[in-house]
Structure 1
Amino acid sequence: MNRRDFAVTEGGATDSSDTPDGAAPDTQRFRHLFENLPNPAAEIQVIDGEPIIEAVNHRFTERFDADEGAIGRPVTEYTCPDAAEDTAEQIVAAIASNTHRETILSRDATGATAPLRREIIPYETDGGNHGFLLYSDATERTAQQADATSRNQQLEKLASTLSHDLRNPVNAAQGWLEQIETADDDPVDRIERALDRIEAMVDKTLTLTQNPEIIETTEPVDIPELARHCWQRVETEHAELIVDDRFTLLCDSDQMARLLENLFENAVAHNSESVTVRIGIHDRLATATRVSSTPSEAFYITDDGRGIPRADYETVLEYGMTTSEDGTGLGLPIVKQIAEAHGWEIEVTKTLNGGAKFIFHNATLHGRLPKDGAES
C-alpha cells in the first residue's frame, strides 16, 4: 500500500519526499496552516481498515504525548487507547462515506480523563481515502452551552413576566385614561407617556429574547423601500427620511425592519427639534470605481441631530444606556444584536456636522453608484 512518508520534526509536520527548495507553494502554505492550528490535528489515511497517522501538528504531540513513532500507527492508540476499536470504526466509516462528522469522546471508562470533541474531515485522493482529525476540549464547550441555555431560559422567564405582569395593568390604565375628562391635561399626559414607555420596554425586551443569535436564511432586500415602509410605522413627527442610494442588502427582512425602526425611533427620541435621517452606501471612494453588480462592504444610517459623545461610542450599544427621559435603553442593543446575528460589524461615529452615524461593515449589498456628496 503506497503512503506518503511524513515525519514529525521540531518545526512541525514535514514530507520527506519534498525538499524545502522544491516544495510547491500550496504545500508550504498547507504545512504552515496545519502546524499552526490552535488545537491538536492529525492527517490520517485508511489502510487495511485502520486510521493510520500520516502527519500530526505540535499541538497533537503535546496533547497526546506522541513522538516520531506515531507516524504509521493508528491514531486511536494515542487519542482513545481504552476504546480504540470503537473510535477507529467511527473514523473509518465517516471517511469511507465522505461524511463530515463531530463526536464527543470519553477517553476512558473511569471518566478521569476529560472528554474530547473530535471533528472528522474526509477527503479523497488517487492514493486512497484520507481525512483530517481535529480535537478540542469538550468540557469547556459543554459548559458554555449549558451557560447559554441557562441565560436563554432566564431571558424567556423575564420576557414572560414582563408580558404578563406589566402589559395587563398597562392596558387597564390606558383604558381608564381614555375616560378621564379634565381641564388640566398635563398630569394625564405625563401618565400616558409613562405608560407608553413601559409598553415600549415590554415590546423591546420581548424582541431581545426572540432575536436569533445567528441568522442563517437571508435574501436580497430593497432597503429604500423597506426603510420608507418602516418610517411610516414609527412616530417620526416632523422628522424627514432621505435615501441617498438605491441598493439591495442580503439580510433577513423582518430583522432588518426591526433594526431600522429602532434607529429611526432613537434619532427622533434623542433630538428635541426636527431631525433628518439618511441611509445609503458607505465609503464613496471604494464604490466609485466599481460597477453596480459588484458587492459593496458597508452601509450607513445617520441623523443631523446633536450626536453621540465620543466617550459613549462603546457604551451606547449596551443595555440600559439612554440619555432621554422617555428612552428605554434597549433600542440600540437590539440594533447591535441584529447586526451581529447577520455577521455585520457596527461602528458608532459622527457625521461632519456632528450628528450620529452608524456604519454597518461586512454587509453584502449591491446598488448603483452613490450621488456625489450624499454621505456626510
Structure 2
Amino acid sequence: MSSADNDGLALLEGFPDPVIRYEKTDEGRIVQWANDRATALFGSVAAEGQPLTATIESFEVLTETEPLVGPEGEVVAEYETAAATKTFRIRWASDGTNEPATGVVVFTDVTAAVAKGRDDQTDAPSDPTVEQVVHVLSHDLRNPLEVAELRLEAARETGEAVHFEKVTLALDRIEALIEDLRTIAKGDVIVTSTAPVALEEVARNAWSTVQTGPASLEVDGAVTIEADEDRLRQALENAFRNSVEHAGEGVTVRVGPISDGDGFYVADDGPGIPSDRRDTVFEPGVSAREGGTGLGLTIIDRIATAHGWSITIADAADGGLRLEFREGTVHD
C-alpha cells in the first residue's frame, strides 16, 4: 500500500462516522478495512475479508433504492443495536479507475433527526460527507501520483536529475492535497483567504503536476487574480486533466483573461460539450468518458463557488470547451 493510501486511511480513521473501505472482486465487494467506529458497531462482520453484503444485510432499508447499486448513492435504513433501533443514512462511493476497483461506505446516525421529524438530508450532523473525502482521495491524488510514477520510471532508465526533481514536486503536491483533506475533514471552509496571484505562474505549476503527454499549454497575456492560490491550482489541475482525458493527448489548452476584464478562462481545441448536456456536467458522477469519475468539473465548480465566482461553459474559438470564471477580482 502506498504512503498516499496510508494517509488516506489515517484520514478516514478520524472520520466521525463508521467507515468501511472495500475492494470489488469477482466474488463481490469484500471488506478491505474498517475504522474503529465501524468495528465497534458491526463487530466481526466488518472484519477484513468479509463480504460487504453481510454488513448491509443487517439493516432494514427504508428507501426504495437498493444498497450498493451503481458507483455511488445512498439509502436510509434501520439497524438493531443491543440498546435500541437506530436509523442510518448509508452512503457509498467507488473509484472505478483503480484495478481492482475500491470504494468506501459511510454510515451516518440520523436517529435524532428522524425522531424530531426533520429531513435527514439537511438536518443530519454537518460533518463533511464521505463523498468529499473519497472524491479527492480517488480523483485529485491521481494527478500527481501518475506524474510521480512515470517520472520515477524515467529516472530509473536514464538517471537524469530532472526526473527526480519532478517526482519530488509531485510528492510535495500529494502532501499538500492530503493536508487539504484534513482541513475539509475538520469542517473548515474550502477557501479561507485570498491574495493577488499570477494566473500564468499558477497555471504552469498546475500543468507540471498533471500527466499531459504531448498536450501543450498556452497562456494568453499576464493577469493577476484575487484567489486562494492552492484552490486555484487545484481547479486548474482538474481543468487540464479534463481536457487531456476528453480531447486527447494532442490537445492544446489555453488560459488567459476574459477580454472584458471580468475574469479568466480555460479553453481547449477538443470536441467541446454539447449544449444539451451543459446543465448537468457539474453534477457529481456525470462524465462523457466511459470509466470517467465525473468529478473534475464538479470540483472546479465548487472551488469557483467558494471564491464567489460564477462559472459558465462556452464554445472556444476553435470549437472546443471554454470554461469562463467571472466575478473574481482581476488586477491590471
What TM-score comes out, normalization by structure 2 length? 0.47
Mark the structure with the bigger radius of gyration.
1
What TM-score comes out, normalization by structure 1 length? 0.42
